[in-house]
Amino acid sequence: MYEVFADLHIHIGRTKNNKPIKITAARSLNFENIANECVDRKGISIAGIIDCASPYVIEDIEEFLKNGEARELADRRYYI
C-alpha cells in the first residue's frame, strides 16, 4: 500500500480560450491552471475534474496531449 494525495472533486470555470464551463467557478479554473496547481504546488497525484465531459474541456485536454504537456497512460488515464 502507498500514500496518494488526491482531490476528487474539482470544477472547471473556463476553458483556455475563456469559454464558460461552470459560470459560478472562478475564471482562472481552467484545465491547464488546475493541472499545474495540482502537480507543481500541491503535489496531488490524482485529480478528479468534474467538468471533463464538456467538449471545450476535451479540446483543452487534447491540446495538452498534442503539445506533450501531458501523456496518455495505457489504461486511458492522463499523466501531466
Sequence ranges of the domains in the chain: 6-79
What's the burial of 78, exposed, middle or buried (CB within 10 Å: 0-12/13-18/19+)?
middle
d(CA 57, CA 5): 23
Note the pLDDT tens digit of each residue in 22-32.
776 677 888 88
Average pLDDT over residues 63-72: 86
d(CA 1, CA 37): 26
Higher pLDDT, 62 or 5: 62
pTM listed for this prediction: 0.65
Yes or no: say if 41 and 7 are a contact pair by the CB < 8 Å rule.
Answer: no
pLDDT score at 67: 92
